[in-house]
Amino acid sequence: MRVVKEVEIRFMYREATALVLFDTGTSYTVVRRGFFEKAFGATWIRLSRLVKLFLVDGRFVSADKYAVVTIVIDGVELSLPETVLVLDEFAEEIEVEGREIRMPDIIIGAGTMSKYGIVLDPKEGVKVLEAGLLLY
């Protein structure tokens, strides 16, 4: 199942709104390099080795950098920062049946959703269960 939603992403005392695809069919959580640089600068960390994965548009890509961000969904901050892979080869738009479609800035995979109690409901969209909340 997939749901697209705008969420807030925090990194190093800065915050940005991102278009996010929550995708139960992917394992990794990834961010488009162009979005990350524009919002936060080139302040990622290099991986010790490449990670290879498939994107939602069917392309095979490699990731060589990551960042640790905080995700805020509907004003609810997830309980721990999340590691996201920063992808160079992540198109801003793709063409589907002759139409240009904007790709999300971030794809949140099943591992992240499971870790924070994020569920996708056909009627309500993205829901964060109590286990994933940061309680003050």
Domain borders along the chain are: 2-132
Q: Give 98's Cβ-side CA count (13 Å radius).
A: 0
What pLDDT does residue 131 have? Answer: 52
What pLDDT does residue 121 have? Answer: 86
Select the more confidently predicted residue: 136 or 41: 41
* Cα distances (angstroms) measured from residue 42 to each of 18, 33, 56, 129, 136: 17, 9, 24, 33, 31
Query: Which residue in 17, 27, 35 sits closest to 86, CA to CA?
Result: 35
19-39 tens-digit pLDDT: 998 988 888 899 999 999 999
The CATH code of the domain at 2-132 is: 2.40.70.10
56-78 tens-digit pLDDT: 667 788 899 999 999 999 988 88
